């Protein structure tokens, strides 16, 4: 059973130490907020242009598959998604590198979006979705799969004299049901597609969608000057160091001390990045 302190660490970033957080995690939060402000000022013209609907890929409107996750219907929608995604994304980025994590976000958005559209052709042809919540569920299922090997049960409680256990592997479906009950207007099918994509990511079934590491290294070399300029603001995790860590055995979060699991991850200082916390062979809404 995970402790309350672990849950708090996952859910709430400490704004007082924001310069110690990964570049993409911070940048995505700021960028999506700016897009929200611009979208609201333009009477939601941007979100209408990039919202995902079931027929979009069949009409070759492919930009929607990548960009629908960047827009939100309002401040509350944005805040819930950013709070839910911030810490899981930071953990992933610290282990896998900044650019690689950006590619992962796009891969998850596209795979979840395609599933949503294929099912939607039959069940909800006129529904449109936007937002990061599908990716939140993707990282939830990704981590659930990784964690269940060492922590098969995430929570145990008593009900009418019987002990009930919640398997770690299937815990995302509990959150799916809770979200559906508490937020009736949320996209059940979009969240379900996000869960599916997270499992596919953890199992390595969508690794063919990733560019070779040489391409990422080439991009980083070309952007070395602006990357160095970011070091005083956020932590940039380079592909060169991340490559060495993807083969390291997974370091479970639930079975370790919650404080050290999230705090003992080195940060970048000066001109180089210190060693990563290993997360194993990893890859890489609504």
Q: Across residues 144-157, what is the average pLDDT? A: 90
- What is the pLDDT, as a whole number, of residue 126? 93
- What is the pLDDT, as a whole number, of residue 281? 31
pLDDT class of 231 with cuts at 50, 70, 90:
confident
- What is the pLDDT, as a whole number, of residue 125? 95
- Cα 239 from Cα 220, distance rounded (Å): 8
- Cα 269 from Cα 169, distance rounded (Å): 36
Q: What is the pLDDT of residues 161-206, one digit of tens each?
A: 888 888 999 999 999 999 999 988 888 999 999 999 999 999 999 9
Residue 51 CA, chain-centre distance (Å), reads 19
- Cα 29 from Cα 193, distance rounded (Å): 22
pLDDT class of 9 with cuts at 50, 70, 90:
very low
> Is the CATH code 1.20.1540.10 the one for domain 4-263?
yes
- What is the pLDDT, as a whole number, of residue 18? 56
- What is the pLDDT, as a whole number, of residue 39? 97
**pTM for the complete prediction?**
0.82
Q: What is the pLDDT of residues 238-277, one digit of tens each?
A: 998 888 777 666 777 765 544 444 444 444 433 344 444 4
Can you give the residue ranges of every domain in the chain? 4-263
Active site residue 148: no
Active site residue 133: yes
Mean pLDDT over each residue of the chain, to the nearest integer: 84
Closest CA to 134 of 174, 172, 93, 92: 172
Q: What is the pLDDT of residues 53-64, one digit of tens each?
A: 999 999 999 999
Q: Across residues 107-136, what is the average pLDDT? A: 96
Which stretch of DSSP H or E encloses residue 258? Answer: helix 258-263
Residue 45 CA, chain-centre distance (Å), reads 26
Looking at the chain, the whole-number percentage of residues with pLDDT higher than 70 is: 81
Q: Across residues 94-117, what is the average pLDDT? A: 96
pLDDT class of 99 with cuts at 50, 70, 90:
very high
- What is the pLDDT, as a whole number, of residue 247? 64
- What is the pLDDT, as a whole number, of residue 16? 47
Q: Considering the candidates 133, 141, 171, 196, report the single residue annotated as catalytic.
A: 133
Q: Considering the candidates 72, 77, 148, 191, report the single residue annotated as catalytic.
A: 191
The residue among 284 and 97 whose pLDDT is bigger is 97
Q: Which alpha helices (H) appear in 55-186, and where do they start and end?
A: 63-67, 75-96, 98-123, 133-148, 171-182
């Amino acid at each position: 059973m995970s402790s309350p302190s672990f849950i708090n660490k996952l859910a709430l970033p400490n704004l007082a130490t924001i310069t110690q957080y990964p570049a993409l995690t911070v940048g995505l939060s700021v960028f999506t907020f700016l897009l929200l402000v611009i979208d609201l000022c333009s009477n939601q013209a941007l979100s209408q242009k990039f919202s995902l609907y079931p027929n979009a890929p069949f009409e070759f409107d492919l930009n929607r598959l990548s960009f629908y996750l960047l827009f939100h219907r309002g401040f509350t929608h944005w805040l819930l998604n950013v709070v839910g995604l911030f810490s899981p994304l930071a953990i992933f980025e610290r282990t896998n590198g900044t650019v690689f994590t950006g590619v992962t976000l796009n891969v998850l958005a596209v795979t979840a979006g395609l599933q949503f559209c294929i099912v939607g052709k039959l069940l909800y042809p006129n529904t449109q979705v936007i937002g990061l919540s599908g990716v939140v569920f993707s990282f939830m299922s990704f981590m659930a799969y990784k964690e269940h090997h060492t922590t098969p049960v995430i929570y145990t409680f008593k009900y009418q004299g019987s002990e009930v256990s919640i398997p770690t592997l299937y815990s995302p479906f509990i959150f799916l049901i809770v979200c559906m009950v508490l937020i009736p207007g949320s996209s059940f099918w979009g969240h379900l597609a996000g869960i599916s994509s997270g499992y596919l990511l953890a199992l390595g079934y969508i690794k063919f969608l990733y560019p070779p590491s040489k391409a990422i290294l080439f991009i980083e070399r070309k952007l070395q000057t602006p990357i160095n300029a970011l070091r005083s603001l956020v932590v940039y995790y380079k592909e060169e160091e991340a490559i060495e860590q993807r083969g390291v055995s997974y370091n479970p979060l639930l079975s370790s001390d919650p404080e050290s699991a999230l705090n003992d991850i080195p940060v970048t200082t000066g001109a180089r990045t210190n060693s990563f916390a290993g997360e194993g062979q990893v890859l890489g809404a609504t």
